[in-house]
Chain A
Amino acid sequence: MRLLKFTSLFLLLSFSTRFASADVSEGEKLFTANCTSCHAITEKVVGPALKDVHKRRDAAWLTKWIRNSQALVKSGDATAVALYKENNESVMTSFENLSDGQVASIVEYIKAESEKPTAAANASVGGDATGATSSAGAQDGFYNSTTFWGLSIIAIILFVIVFILFSIRKVVDQLYAQKFPEAAAEESVQRISWKERPTSVRYKLFKKHPVVGIIVVILAFTVVGGLVGFDYGNKEVGVQKGYAPVQPINYSHELHAGKYKINCLYCHSGADKSKQATIPSPSTCMNCHAHVTASKNYDGKVSPEIQKIYNAVGWDADKKAYDPAKTQTPIKWVRIHNLPDLAYFNHSQHVKVGKVECQACHGPIETMKVVSQQTSLQMGWCINCHREAKVDMANNDYYQKLHEDLKAQGKSYATVANVGGLECGKCHY
C-alpha cells in the first residue's frame, strides 16, 4: 500500500508537467458527462475499466479511438480490432465533437484517478455526502439527536429531584407525627376530604354541578390535546421524511451514482429541462444492461434484479436481442417524494437555473442502497432555502437588468427571496 502511494506520488510528479493544456477538473466534468454511463476507473461496466489506460495506449491512438472507434476498427488497426472483439463487438459511441484538448483532459483525469489510492477515492465521496446532509439537517436542528438526548437527561434529573423532595417531605411528616402525636392526630381529623367541603372548588365542580365539571374536563382535554395534536400535525402529518418504500427492483444508487459515478442527469434526464426529473424508462437501463449482467456474482447467470429489467422490456439475455414474442410490462416504481398538488415545483428551475446540487434536497443519494426521503419537503423548509440561496445573476442574461440595479445599489448579491421567491404565487397557482 505504502509502495503504491509512493509510486503514485512519483508518477504524479513526473507526469504533471507533460500535458500542459490538459486540465483534470475539466476532464472530470467531461468524464462524468460523457463516459460514466459505460466506463468506470477500476471496474468493467459496459466498456473496460479505464485504470492506467494512459499506460496501455498512446495518446494519439486514444484520441482516434474516442473520436470514432469504428473508423479505427475499420482501418484495420490491430489493437482496435482486438479490443472490439474482446468487448463482444459492442460499439462505443463516437465523440467527434470532443477537441484534442478535451480528450487530453479526460485522459489526464483518468490518469489522476488511476493514481489515487482506492480508499481515498471512496472517502472523498463520503465526505461530500456528509457535507450535504449537514447543510440540509441544520434546518431541522431541534430534532437532531444531541438536543434530544440532552433534553431527555435534564428531564430525568428533574424527575429524580421531584422524587427526592417527596421522599423528604414524607420523612419529615413521619418524624413530626412521632414527636408530636396529639397535634398530628388533631390535624388529621381536621383534614376533611373535598367531598364534604362545600367551599372547595372541586366540590362545586364535581358534586354540585357535575355537568359543568365534565365539560371543564373535556375542554381542558380538548385544549391540551388540540395543542399537542396541532404541534404533531404541523410536524408529522403528511410529512414523509424517512419514507423508504420497497421498490419493485432493488436498485442501488450507491452502486450506480456512488461507485460508478454515473451522472444523475443520465437517468433523470428531465431534471435540467422539465418540471419532472423523470424516472428513466427501462430502455435507458438497457443502454448499459444489455451488456452488464453482473453474472459473475450469480454463478454465471443474469442477476435476478437485472432480469427484472429484461422482463420489462422483453429482452432475451441468451440471444442478446429483444424478443418480440415477449410482452413488455412497465415497471411500477413507488414514488417517494410527493408534493401536494397545490404546490408547483419545477426541477429545471432549481437544477439548471439555480444550479442546486441534487443532494441539497435529496440527501447523500450516492450512498443510498435504498432511497429514502431525506427532507421534510414542508413549506418552511423551502422558504428557508429561498431566504438563503443567492441568485447567480452574473452568469444569466435573464437577470441582466436586475443585476445592474443591484450593482447600482452597491449590493454584492441578491437572495431568491429578494427577487420575489417568497411570494405565494411563485409556487401556488
Chain B
Amino acid sequence: MENKNTYWKGLEELNNDPKFLQAKRNEFAEGIPLEEVLTEQDGELTSNRRDFLKYFGFSVSAVALAACNKAPVKNVIPYIVKPENITPGIPNWYATTNPETGASILVKTREGRPIKIEGNPESPIFKGGASAVEHASLLGLYDNERLKAPQAEGNEVDWNTLDGKIKTGLASAKNIRLISGTVNSPSVKKAIAAFTAKYPNTKHITYEAVSNSAMIDANTQSFGKAVVPGYRFDKAKVIVSFGADFLGTWISPVEFTKQWVINRKVGTAGDGKTEMSRHIQFESNLSLTGSNADMRFPIKPSAEGVILISLYNKLAAMAGSPTLSGAQNIELALNSVENTAKELWAAKGASLVVSGSNNLDNQLLVNAINSLLGNIGTTVDLDNYSNQKYSNDTAFEAFVSDMNNGGVDAVIFMNSNPAYSYYNAKRFEDGLKKVALTVSTSSSVDETSAMCKLYAPDNHYLESWGDAEPKVGYYALIQPTISPVFNTRQAPESLLRWADNSTDYYTFVKGNWSAMGVNETAWNKSLHDGFMYAGEKSAQSYSNSVLPTAAVNAAYQAYTSSKDKIEISLYSKVGLGDGRNANNPWLQELPDPISKVCWDNYAAIGKVTADQLGVKDGDVISITTKGYTIESIPVLVQPGQANNTVSIAVGYGRTHGGKVAKYVGKNAYGLASFNKTVGYNTADAKVAKASGDYELAQTQTHHTIEGRNIIKEASLKEFIKDPKAGNHDHAHIISLWDERDSKGHRWAMAIDMNACTGCGSCVVSCSAENNVPVVGRKEVLNSREMHWIRIDRYYSFKDKNGKSITREAGLAGNMLKGKDETLIDENTNFENVKVAFQPMMCQHCGHAPCETVCPVLATVHSSEGLNHMAYNRCVGTRYCANNCPYKVRRFNWFKYRENDKFDFYMNNDLGRMVINPDVTVRSRGVMEKCSFCIQRVQSGKLQAKVEGRNLKDGDVKTACQQSCPSNAIIFGDINDKSSEIAKLFKNERSYVLLEEYNVQPSVSYMTQIRNVEEAVAGDHAEHGAEHKEEKHEEKAHEHAAHS
C-alpha cells in the first residue's frame, strides 16, 4: 500500500504512550457508569443498589396505575390574527447580518423562534459560508443569564428611571468617553454622532480585544489610507502568511476561506482545473491556516521582523531596488526565505504577503514587500477595503491614563469588555473606580459591567434592527427575527434616548437609508436580500514610499536578544475567538481544529522545548511576566509548535459572563504588553514547571482507527501526470451480500479533502440542526462527546532527513537499536508536521455492519441508501457501535435535557427554544448518529411532491454541506446522473474508507493534493494498479486453494 501508516493522530500514538495504548485496547473507554447512573439526579431519584427491589416492586404497581392515567391535556392556541406569512409547521427565513463578523446570514424561524443560522448564498462576499461562531451565535439569544431588565446600582429599574439617571450624570460630566468595539454600521455611527453632538465633550474610542491597530497605522504611513485592505486570496497564485490565521480567525475568515478555496480545488471537483495556488506559512503555533499550507516554516515571533527584512532585501535585489541597509541575511532551514522570495517574484502582481502581527514595523515591511511585488491594486485592494476589526490602541491607552489621572467623569461601554481583555486589568480597574458615571450596555454581566453602576442591556442581534458595512459599499441590513425576549433595548437606541432623540431605532435606520438615497423599493429589496451592494470599485494602485529603515535595528535587537529565551505568543482560537462568546456551550464543546481540546486553553509547547523544561502532557506550568502570572496552566505537547515558544489562546479564564464561561481555562491577556501598539508576544517571561497535574479534554485519540490507511494524498505534479496518483490501491472486493438495488433516490456524499480546512463550522451547524446535546468537559474526558460529525486531524512526521516515519521502518529501526516500543527518537522533526483533516460522520454503508448486529432492528437500511436509526426501538445494547468500523455512533449515557448535571442550554425553558422541532430529542440509553439530515431530505422531497415536480439537484442540502465555508462537502442523489454528486462520487480522486471491508459506504473522499515539490503519493504510483490487481489474483487463488 502507498504511504502506509504515515499518519498519526497525535504524539501519544507515535510514542506508544501507555495511556493511549490502554485507550486503544479499551476501544470505547466506556465502562458502565453504574455508580453515576444510580446516584444521578435524574428527576428526583437518588437510588442505590439496595433500593433496586423496592423500585422494582413499585414499578409493577406503577404500571398498573399508569394504565389508568389519561395523557395530560394539551392545548392548541392559535394566533388571534394569523400573520399572513406564518403557517405553523413551515419555517420562515429572514436575511440578516451578524454584527460581530459582518457575515450575511439567513435565519430559520419556526413558529416565531429562530432555530438555525446559515450563510446567505446570495451574498457576493460571504457566498453562503458561515463560521462556527456565526452558527453558535444563535444560542446567545436563548441565554437565560442575559440581563432581563435595566439596572441601577444592582436594582432592576425601568428605562425612564435609568435614562433619567444617565442624562443627569452626562449633563454634569466634563469628560465623557464612549468605548465600543469596531463600528462599521452607518446608523450606529450616526447615533454616536447624535450623542456626541448633544454631549460635545465626548470622545469615542474603538477598542478590540485582539487588536489590528498596527496594520491600520502602517497603511496610513505607507499609502495614506487608514484602512484594513480588502485582500484577494482568490487572485493570488502565491500566498505567504506570517502568522496570519486568515482561514481561522484573522479579519474575515469566511470571506477569505471562500476566496482561498477557489484555487485549491482541482480535478473534477475544481471543474477540471490542474492549477493550484501555493500557500506558504511562517508561524510559531500551528494554526488552522498553517495546517492547510503547502509549506510551513516554524519561526519564533521575534524572528518575524528579520525574516521579513531578509525577504524584502532578496526581492529588492531581484527588482533592482535599493535594499535595506545594515541588514544581515537571515536564512532558515532548507533555504526557505530564498525559495519563498523566488516564488513570490515569479508570481509578481499575483502574489500576496500578509502578517497577523500587531507590530508597526512588521506591517510596514509587509506593505513594502507587497508594493515591490506590484500586489497593490490586485491582491491588496485599498479601494474595496474592509471595515472589520478597527481599533486604536494608542487612544485606548490614553483613555486608561486619563481615567487614572481623574480626567474622565463618565464612561459608557458599548458592548466592550476591557476589564477582561486589557493587558493590564488592574490599572484599568483602578482607573474605572475613579469615574463617577459608569454605564454598560452589555447584555450580560461581564467583567467590565460588574464594575459599572448602571446597566442598559442591549438586545441580542437577532432581536435588533440595524445595518453594517463590513466591506466598503457592501451595506448589510440587520432585521429582528423575534421580539425582544427580555426588557432590553438596543444600544444605539439607548444612545439616541440619552441624546434626547425619541425616534425608535427602526425608523432611525430606515431614515438613514433613505438619506443615502434608498427608496422604498430598494429598501424592501435590501431587507429581503439582506444586503445592498453595487459591486466592487476598480482597485487602484497606490505608491508606497515608506521604507522602514528604522525597523532594521529594532528587528535585529528583538531577534538576537530573545534568541535563547522561551517566547510566549498569544493567539485566538477558531471557536472562542477573543472570548466574548465564552458563555456559548456549543463553542466551548467544539474541539480546537488542531489540538482537538475542548473546554480549556493550555500552553502549547513543542516536543524539544517540553523536554528541555522537563514537562509532558498532563503537567502544569506557571508563566510569569513583569506584571502578570498564570498559575498552573496545563501543558499540551503540540507537534508543529516552533521550538522555544509557548503559545496560549486568549478568550478563556473569564471570571464573569455566565456559568458556562466562568473559570474555563486561564486568562492569557495579561501576558500582552504595550509598545506603540499592543503586542501579543513576549520574550520576557519565566516558564517553570508547577506542581500538580491536569488532564485536558481532548477528543482526537477517541475513536481511533488503528493507523489504517485512510488518508490518501499526492503532490500536484503527480496529480497532473496521473489524476489517480495516490489512489491506486483499491482493495479486492468479495461480497457475501446481494447487491441492493435502488430505483428512486440514492443519497450519497463526497468530501473534497483538498478543500476541507478543518474549521469546525459543520460541527456546530450539525449540533444546531440535529439537537445534539452538549456534554461538558467531564464527559468529553470519558469519551462521551455526542457530535455526529467530527473532523479527524492526522499528523505526518518526518525525520531530520525528510523521510516519513512509518510504523514498520521506525519501529524496526528503533527496536534494532534496542529502544522501547517508541517511534520517537532524536531524529524526529517535531517542528514541522504535515496535517490532514478528514470530516467523519456516519458513512451510511450499503452493507452496514451495524445493521446486522442490532438485536431489535432499531437500525435498518432504507431503499434510498440511508442507514436509519429508530431511537424508540433501540434498547441500548451498543452492539452497533462495537461493530462500526468508522466509530461514528454515539450512545446517550444520560438524559442531557432537564438535568442539573448538564446545566447548559437544554436545562432551561429558554434554552430549549433552540431545539429543532423536526428532530427527536434523544433520551438516555439510545444510540444515535448522523442521519444525513434525513429531516431535510424528507422535506426536500415533500416540497417537490407538493409542487408536482422532479427533485432537482441542490434541493436537499445537509446542514454540514450548507455551512461549509470551503464547499468541501457535496451531498445529493447519485441516481440522478446529472447531479454534481454523481460526477464527484466516482472520479479519479475518489476513494472510500476501509474499502477492503466492502461495507460500501455512501461517503467518498477525494485524495488530498498538495502543491509541493517532492513526491507524496509514493514510488509505484504509476504502476500501482497493475501490481495490485496481480496480487489480488494471487490472493484469490490462495483463498480458493485453502477452501
Contact = CB atoms under 8 A, between A and B. Distances in A.
B534 interface: no
Interface in B219-239: none
Nearest to A419: B744
Contact of A270 (B89, B871, B919, B950): B89
B938 A426 contact: yes
B90 interface: yes
Interface in A316-362: 328-335, 338, 341-342, 344, 346-349, 352-353
Given A281-B80, A400-B950, A426-B938, A238 B90 contact: no
Given A222-B60, A274-B88, A428 B872 contact: yes
Contacts of A426: 862, 938
B76 interface: yes
Given A237-B66, A397-B950, A420 B78 contact: no
Contacts of B919: 429
A330 B81 CA distance: 10
A274 B939 CA distance: 10
B811 interface: no
B871 A330 contact: no
B866 A396 contact: no
Interface string A186-207: 0000000000000000000000
Nearest to B920: A342
B870 interface: yes
B76 A333 contact: yes
Contact of B87 (A270, A330, A395): A270
Nearest to A272: B946
Interface in A231-255: 232-233, 236-238, 240, 243, 245
Interface range for A: 35 or more
A150 interface: no
A331 B78 contact: yes
Contacts of B921: 341
Given A233-B63, A342-B872, A353-B942, A281 B89 contact: no
Given A424-B860, A428-B920, A398 B67 contact: no
Contacts of A424: 858, 860, 862, 868-870, 873
Interface in B58-109: 60, 63-64, 66-67, 70-71, 73-82, 87-90
Interface string A393-429: 0011110111001000000000000011001111011
A5 B730 CA distance: 84
Given A270-B88, A275-B89, A278-B87, A335 B945 contact: no
A338 B870 contact: no
B875 to A, nearest CB: 15
B950 A398 contact: yes
A420 B863 contact: yes
A145 to B, nearest CB: 23
B946 A284 contact: no
A338 B71 contact: yes
B90 A274 contact: yes
Contacts of A280: 78, 82
Given A342-B920, A420-B863, A424-B860, A275 B90 contact: yes
Contacts of A331: 77-78
B75 to A, nearest CB: 5
Nearest to A282: B80
A397 to B, nearest CB: 5
A158 B70 CA distance: 35
Given A278-B89, A282-B78, A352 B946 contact: yes
B679 to A, nearest CB: 52
Given A280-B78, A282-B78, A229 B63 contact: yes
A405 B950 CA distance: 15
A401 to B, nearest CB: 7
Interface string A254-287: 0000000000000001100111101111111000
Given A229-B67, A342-B871, A397 B948 contact: yes
Contacts of A348: 942, 946
A237 B64 CA distance: 10
Range for the number of chain B residues in contact with chain A: 35 or more
Nearest to A230: B63
Contacts of B799: none
B864 interface: yes
Contacts of B945: 349, 352-353, 396, 398
A312 interface: yes
Interface centre among A245, A278, A425 (most CB of B within 10 A): A425
A273 B90 contact: yes
A349 B945 CA distance: 8
Contact of B67 (A237, A328, A395): A237
B918 interface: yes
A41 interface: no
A398 B862 contact: no
B456 to A, nearest CB: 30
A353 to B, nearest CB: 4
Contacts of B935: 344, 429
B934 interface: yes
B951 interface: yes
Given A334-B74, A420-B862, A420-B863, A344 B918 contact: yes
Contacts of A281: 78-82
Interface in B408-445: none
B357 interface: no
Contacts of A395: 948
Contacts of A243: 70
A396 B75 CA distance: 36
Interface string B930-972: 0100110010011011101111000000000000000000000
B743 interface: yes
A35 B660 CA distance: 58
A313 interface: yes
B78 A398 contact: no
- A275, A330, A424, most chain B CB atoms within 10 A: A424
B920 A229 contact: no
A219 B82 CA distance: 58
Contacts of A240: 70-71
Nearest to B77: A330
B77 A238 contact: no
B80 A425 contact: no
Contacts of B869: 424-425, 429
A243 B931 CA distance: 35
A274 B934 contact: no
A229 B942 CA distance: 39
B948 A425 contact: no
Contact of B870 (A283, A349, A401, A425): A425
B931 A425 contact: yes
B87 A245 contact: no
A49 B113 CA distance: 44
A225 B67 CA distance: 13
Contacts of B63: 229, 233
Nearest to A221: B60
Given A229-B64, A283-B81, A398 B76 contact: no
Contacts of B71: 238, 240, 338
B75 A335 contact: yes
Contacts of A282: 78, 80
Contacts of B78: 278-282, 330-331, 333
Nearest to A409: B743
A65 to B, nearest CB: 28
Interface string A164-204: 00000000000000000000000000000000000000000
B860 A283 contact: no
B208 to A, nearest CB: 43
A270 B950 CA distance: 23
Nearest 3 CB-CB pairings of A with B:
A425-B868, A275-B89, A274-B89
Given A274-B88, A424-B860, 7 more contacts: A270-B88, A335-B73, A338-B71, A397-B949, A405-B743, A423-B860, A428-B872
12 contacts: A240-B71, A275-B88, A279-B76, A280-B78, A312-B80, A330-B78, A332-B76, A344-B918, A346-B942, A398-B951, A424-B869, A429-B868
